[in-house]
Every structure is written in structure tokens, then in C-alpha cells.
Chain A
Amino acid sequence: MITPPHHARPYALPLRLALGGAGMAVLFLLLHGGSITYAAKLLLGLTPPSDTPTLTLLACARTLALLTTALLLAFATSSGLLFLTRGLWPSSLSLLAHLGRLLFATPALGLISAWAGWWIGSRAGVIETLMPPRPNELGEDLTESLARQLWTGLAPTFAIAIPLTGCLLSQIAQTLNPTPNTPLILGLRARGLSPSQILDRHLLPLLWPRWHRSLETSLFAALLLALPVEYALDFPGLGNGLVHALQTQNPQATALGLYASGLMLALLTGLLQFIRPRSLPAPLTLETGMERDEDGVVLGSTRLSGSQRLHRKGDATREAGSLVRPMTAADSPSAISVFRLTPSPVKKPILPVIATLLILLIAIPFLLTDSSSPLHHQAAQLVTGQTWLTGWKNDALACFWILELALIGGLILVALRLTILGDWLRRYGSLETLVWSPLPIWAIAWSHTSGRIISIDLALASLAAIALSIHLHTSTRRYTSAPLLQASRTLGATSAQAWRTHALFPWLLELVAFLISLFAAAWWLRIASFSLSTPEKSDPLTSIGTFLAHAATDAFHHPLPLLSASLAAAVSILFWWTLGRIIHPLHPDDA
């Protein structure tokens, strides 16, 4: 199989993240009328923020602890599940795979279950909740206080850890699922190893590099997820502070939040780098985008495997000799890849079937209720979408615009790669650095503080354009250097003919799948961004996000608007995400 050119993690990623965070913070302050000197002083701690600081070192430490605990919890849960089911290997893999998908979709399923729970509660006349009330802190004893503190930390930890666990479980299912006829497994069986020995000694060591990579790439999504989670569960961390800074339109605190985000990501990626698996082969180092040898001869990505091209200076890294599929741009952890920009194809589209059944299951009680009941009235509102449909439509329309802008921007960036600037972009891994940086948080912050709806769309379009340009560049190079095409050319076909016959259709399918996933990610980010807005200053019809912000203010008395809108958002995003996975084609060499 051809290894695609890796727009992998750029070298010195922690340093790039720290500097990137600082750069974003400075840019943010400059856009809000500050000077470079002031920005530098603020970030160095020489000048305190003008208003009351909403972001403290303690808040950053809390979020750091939250993310670390969530990562550890996800790791421990996945390992535990693997350990419990390893006796049943390989028949347990499908169970783990389904569980992984289920957990990955937990936010949506959580909303659905909450909605169903509310409905059951409303029929019985009592609304049950697991969330302990916040009592008068002066009156609570030590036990109550400890329990509340524990809950304050546990709830967001679980909220972040559960999708991460799903992600890690999916990696298990992919890594431990080799067919008995792969050369490695055949060789091991021929040497007399039992299935459990093959699993323990050979397949599990292969799992760790994948998990390591998955944890590293998940950090960015986890940090982004921490914003709404901390805000919703009132966890006094960086995310909550950043949201409050955005709501109070405080540029200094927002800039500090961006700066702290960069530092935190740098610290966590640095830690993960420190525990990089020893069993992982030494990195095969390639210059970022190195496409010419010393004589100026253009090299295909596949020809860079020789030892003569190792250890060049100024490079991005790539892991060699691993059975693990090498990292591609799709593994880059920008928040846009929350939904996995190039997801794995769905062999059995069971998820859409389950989703449809769930929706039907939830809809049936409404269909059976008396038409004069208030519940039915509310259900009618839900079905006709009188409440959230306008926001939903606006979101959909905006995401189409984002996609169109991203297409134009992506093509421009691809064209830039062909100019003299392209060499600079390749040499320093500039676009890759942007994809790995916490740009979505910057985009959300900018759109909030600028006070213009268009800002978030433009920011998301820019992000999508960068991701798309990397995808276009990667996939085109991968297909161009496929042996299938080379074989076609050796038979006398021109490059264009070979492309048209063998690569164009799968390339287009891959692009469509990517665009659909991008659409889902943009939708999610738009809703997430608007849901953080202040209800008093936003129009509920702008987006489902703003509608959610409004509905959340009176959720305990009137939960239906919040829950129905959440459900609509979750189902829409899941639909697009799954659609992207279904139409994802196989690479010709994989087929």
C-alpha cells in the first residue's frame, strides 16, 4: 500500500503551540485596538488586565487537571474493557467497535436520553435529576461540601472522557482486527503462537502507538469540548472563564484565555511526547513537503522510503516501519476534525438504522397522546419546528456558504503551494501548524467580541479552507503516486487519461465525503459558538446555538424547547457525520 505524504505533526509541536497561542493572543489584542507593547506586557504578566481578571492560574490548573483526568479515565476505561474482553478475542471486537461508536456519539445520545427522561418524568409528574442542587454553602457540612466538589469535578470529566473512550475503543477494533492471512499473523501462527499470545505480544504493542496518536490528536477536540462543558456544568476552569470573558466582551481576558489555551496544549502535547511509546520505531525524518532530491528531481512521496533520504534537517516527522496507517492531514487535531475529517468507511450502516429507530421510539409517545393535552401541543410545536426551525435553517444556509467559501479558499491555498510561497509553506509546515493550533477557539472568540454574525462564518470558512487545502494536496499526491496510475502510464496512457480512468472517481468521492464531514464540523462549531453567547444580546432566531442559549435560561420550567432543539442539532450533525462515513471510498491500492 502506498503511504500518503504525511502532513503529520510538525516538529517541535509544543513550541509551535505555545508561540502560536501567544501570536493569536497578540493578534486578537491588536484587532481590538491594543499595541504590541501592551500585548507583550499583558502576556508576560507585567500589566494586569484592566477589568477583574476572569482567568486565573488556578482556573488553568483546574482545566489542565480536568483534561488530564479525562484522558487518563478514557485510557483506563478502554484498557479495562479490552482486558475484560480479551479472552473472547477476536469475536469481542465487533462489540468493542459498536461500543466505541456508541460512546463517541454520547453527547447526542445523552441529549436523547435526557429528553426521554424528561418525557417519562413529565408523565409521572416528577422531574428527576442527578445534578445535586447548589445549597447555601454556609449551611452545608463537610460531607455535603466534599460531595458537591466531587460532583463539580466528576461531571465534566465524564462528559469529556466518554467520547474519548469511544475514540480509543474504535482504535482497538481497527488495530486488533487483522485477518488471519496477513503475513505477520500467518508467520506468528506458523511459529506456534496461540491467539492470546498473538494478541498480547504482537497486537497490543501495535495498539499503543495508535492510542498515543489518538490521545494527542484528541487533546484539541477535548479542549474545545471543555468550553461548553465547563460553562454548562459551571466548572470553574479555563473554559468557563473564557466563556465569561466572551460574554462580558473583555478582550484582555479573552486574549489571556487564548494564550493559556496554547500553553496548555503545549504542555499536554509535551507530556505526551515524553511518554511516547518506546516500542515505536525511531522516527523516519523527512523534510516537510520534501519533493525534490539534491539534483532537483521531483520525488513521489512513495520514493522517500529509502534510508538515503533519512535524517534530513528541518523536517516534519513520520513514523516508519509501523503497521499502523501513517498519520495524514485528516488526523490533524484541529477542532474541525472533531468529527474526523476523513472518517473510516462504514461497512455496515448500523448507526443510521439505530438512530432512525431511536427517533421513531421517541416520536411514538407523542403520536399516541391525546391531541388536547399540553404535551401534544408541545409535540406539535416540535414537529412543525415553530421554535427552532428558523435557527436550524439559518445554520444550514450559513454552513453551505462556509463550504462554498472554503472551496474557493482551499483552491487558492492549493494554488499558492504551486507558487514560490509553496516552498515556504512546505519548509516550515505553516499550514500544518495552523491546523494543529487552537484556531477554532480564536475564531469563536473573534466572532463574539467583534459582535458580528458574519465573523464566525468567515472564521470557520478560513479554517475549513486550510483543512480542505491540506486534504486536496494530500489526496492528490496520494492518488498521483499510486502504483495503479503508474502502471497505467507504463501502458501508454497520459497522466490525464490515467487519472480520469483510475483516480478521478474515488478522488471525487473522497472529496465529497470530506466536504460532508466538514459541513458537519462547521455546523457543530457554529452551534457551539452561538450557544456560548449572552441571551440578552443575541437573537434566538440567528442559530440553534442562540436558541439554545435562550432556552437554557428557563430550562427547568420549560425544558422542551431546549431539549427539542438539542435533539434536532444532535440528529442533524450525526446524520451528516454518518453520511460522510458511508460514502467514503477505498483508495485504489486498498481495494
Chain B
Amino acid sequence: MTPNLAPLLEIKNLRIRFKRYGAEPAEAVKGINLTMMPGESIAVVGESGSGKSATALALARLLPEPPALITADQMSVVGHDVLNLSERQLRRMRGRDIAYIFQEPTTSLNPVLTVRTQLAEALTLHRPDVKDQDAEIISWLCQVGIAEPEKRLRAYPHELSGGMQQRVMIAMALCCRPQLLIADEPTTALDVTIQKQIMELLAELRRSLGMSLILITHNLGIIQNVADRVLVMFRGEIVEQGPVHEILTSPKHPYTQALLACVPRMGTKQHRLRTIDYSQLESTAPRL
């Protein structure tokens, strides 16, 4: 992290609400602040419904508006004032400056188009200067660890395993060289061994490409080797943040403590897996 550089991401008082019929809007994110420097890697953790994905999608205005209502005092993403961009400007930013990987590669890839077509589309949109698209695609497939990339070019998504599909998604996200990659639970749909491979791949690519990474997950076990900093979200608020080692070893907020206590550990004798006591949290939880 270089202190002299301008922040890659600067968000102040971000609120996301969803309109509801016959009721007050539901507030999914309640005024969070977030700053991220170029090259930094942040993990956002929290349980389902805590507002992690809504925050990530709001960064590129991907939430359908309405029903979503996004407001912020400041929302600067990769040098763009996202809230004041037109749809055309947003589209130019998406994929080129900020890229996403989602959790279900099976449904995120178009089943009737080949791997080549889908990767070439991203290149055509954001890197029209690339002359030999096939060579570029093959090189990216190699980088994400796909064996025999020449063969896989003509493959349809259903001919690939889940892990390979996710690797294709990663290649597709990275081939336009974005400055910020947002991985929204990229390993949820994969088995444990593949999860490890994908996380290692992401960490390695981040280092080699020098990009920033926001990793959204509810799995605290996978963030240690990938993230520099951790943000813990609970009910639409960031309740604790800090370096990954500090959060994992000495959490201060009761919710973070409860979250870590719920992680089963090998070699530790536990009669019963702990769960979070929400009634206690609500009475005692401070914001750190």
C-alpha cells in the first residue's frame, strides 16, 4: 500500500434501500464508509443478508434501480463518480475498470456459446486493440490453469467441470485487465479442494497483475492467504474492520467473535457447534 496514491475506492455514507409494496423501504446497507488503496485486497465477511453482495453490486450500479435506491455522500470507484455516471459511461467502466466473478459459474456462462465466443466478446468490448484474439484467449486460459486451452476454446460450458467453468469466468473477468476485481463468493458452488485451488489462483493473479481485490465471502477459513484487510458486516453495517491477522486472532466485536466461534476446527474437541445468539448481540453490539 502506498500512502501517496489516490484511493481506488472511496465511499462515504453509502445507503442501499429496496422499495417494497405497501411498506417502508427495506434498508440493506446503512451508511457504510470504505476506502481502498490500489493493489489492496479486502475481504468482506458476514452472514447471508448482511449486505455484502448489495454493496459489491452497488459499486458498479448493477442493482436494478428501482427497486434499489442507492445514495451516498461520496462514491468514487476507480476514479469515477459512479452515482453521476450515465448508463453508457457505466457500461464502459464495467468490465474494463471493475470486474466481477459470481458464485455460480454454471449459470453465469451462456450455455449455447463456446468459451472462445464468450471470452472474445469481453476483449472486443474493452480491448479492441488486441489483434490476435485467439492467442490472447489461450494465454489467459493458460494463466488461469486450464489444461489444453486450444481444445477448450471450442468447448461449451456444459463440457467443463465446475472448477474449470469458474476458471473461465476468472479469465473472462481478468482479460480486460481491470484495476479492481470483485469476487462475490467465488467458491461457494465448488467443492473444498477446488475452492482451495481457486483461492490460490486468485491470490497469485492479484500479485502478478497488481490489481485490487474485494473478496466477498461468509467463509472465514479462506480469507487468510488472500486478503490484507477484513471488513465484517452485520445487518447492513460494517461492525469491525482491521488487518486480517488481527481480526482472525483477536476479534473485538461480539458478532465477529461469535462468527469465528462458529467455525468448526479440526483437532478441537467440541460437543456442540456454537451458533450466534442474536438477542445478546443486539443489546451489546458496539460499532468498532
Chain A residues close to B by CB (< 8 Å): 180-184, 186-187, 189-194, 197, 201-202, 205-206, 208-209, 277, 279-282, 284, 320-323
9 A-B pairs (CB sep. < 8 Å): A181-B64, A187-B102, A187-B169, A190-B60, A190-B100, A191-B125, A281-B158, A321-B156, A322-B112
A183 contacts which chain B residues (CB < 8 A)? 102, 104, 107-108
Contact A193 B91 (CB under 8 A): yes
Contact A191 B172 (CB under 8 A): yes
A206 contacts which chain B residues (CB < 8 A)? 110-112
Given A187-B100, A189-B62, A190-B100, also A321-B157 (CB < 8 A) = yes
Q: Which residues of B52-68 are within 8 A (CB) of A? A: 57, 60, 62, 64
Contact B100 A281 (CB under 8 A): no
A208 contacts which chain B residues (CB < 8 A)? 112
State how many angstroms separate the Cβ of A214 from the closest Cβ of chain B.
16
Bound form: Cα–Cα A193–B183 in Å: 19
Contact B102 A191 (CB under 8 A): no
Bound form: Cα–Cα A189–B57 in Å: 11
Q: A184-B109, A192-B95, A192-B96 are in contact. List 15 more A-B contacts (CB 8 A).
A: A180-B64, A186-B102, A187-B169, A190-B95, A191-B100, A191-B125, A192-B93, A192-B94, A192-B125, A202-B113, A205-B113, A206-B110, A281-B156, A281-B158, A322-B112
Between B88, B111, B159, B172, the greatest number of chain A beta carbons within 10 A of the residue's beta carbon is seen for B111
Given A186-B102, A202-B113, also A192-B92 (CB < 8 A) = yes
Q: Would you give the 0/1 interface string for B150-176, flagging 1 where the beta carbon is closer than 8 Å to chain A?
A: 000000111100000000010011000
Contact B126 A192 (CB under 8 A): yes
Contact A201 B60 (CB under 8 A): no
B122 in contact (CB, < 8 A): yes
B121 in contact (CB, < 8 A): yes
Contact B125 A209 (CB under 8 A): no
B88 contacts which chain A residues (CB < 8 A)? 194
Bound form: Cα–Cα A194–B108 in Å: 17
Bound form: Cα–Cα A182–B110 in Å: 12
Contact A194 B91 (CB under 8 A): yes
Bound form: Cα–Cα A208–B156 in Å: 16
Given A190-B95, A192-B93, also A281-B62 (CB < 8 A) = no
A279 contacts which chain B residues (CB < 8 A)? 112-113
Question: Which residue on A lies nearest to B60, using beta carbons?
Answer: A190
Contact B126 A323 (CB under 8 A): no
Question: Which residue on B lies nearest to A181, using beta carbons?
Answer: B64
Contact B125 A190 (CB under 8 A): no
Bound form: Cα–Cα A560–B32 in Å: 74
A184 contacts which chain B residues (CB < 8 A)? 107-110
4 nearest interchain CB pairs? Answer: A321-B158, A192-B95, A190-B100, A192-B94
B99 in contact (CB, < 8 A): yes
B108 contacts which chain A residues (CB < 8 A)? 183-184, 186-187
Bound form: Cα–Cα A197–B99 in Å: 18
Bound form: Cα–Cα A323–B110 in Å: 8
Bound form: Cα–Cα A300–B16 in Å: 42
Bound form: Cα–Cα A277–B88 in Å: 33
Contact A280 B121 (CB under 8 A): no
A191 contacts which chain B residues (CB < 8 A)? 94-95, 99-100, 121-122, 125, 172-173
State how many angstroms separate the Cβ of B191 from the closest Cβ of chain A.
13
Question: Which residue on B lies nearest to A204, using beta carbons?
Answer: B112
Question: Which residue on B lies nearest to A281, using beta carbons?
Answer: B156
State how many angstroms separate the Cβ of B257 from the closest Cβ of chain A.
31
A284 contacts which chain B residues (CB < 8 A)? 158
Bound form: Cα–Cα A27–B102 in Å: 58
State how many angstroms separate the Cβ of B187 from the closest Cβ of chain A.
15
Bound form: Cα–Cα A284–B121 in Å: 27
State how many angstroms separate the Cβ of B83 from the closest Cβ of chain A.
17
Bound form: Cα–Cα A191–B95 in Å: 4
B93 contacts which chain A residues (CB < 8 A)? 192
Bound form: Cα–Cα A344–B108 in Å: 25
A192 contacts which chain B residues (CB < 8 A)? 91-96, 125-126
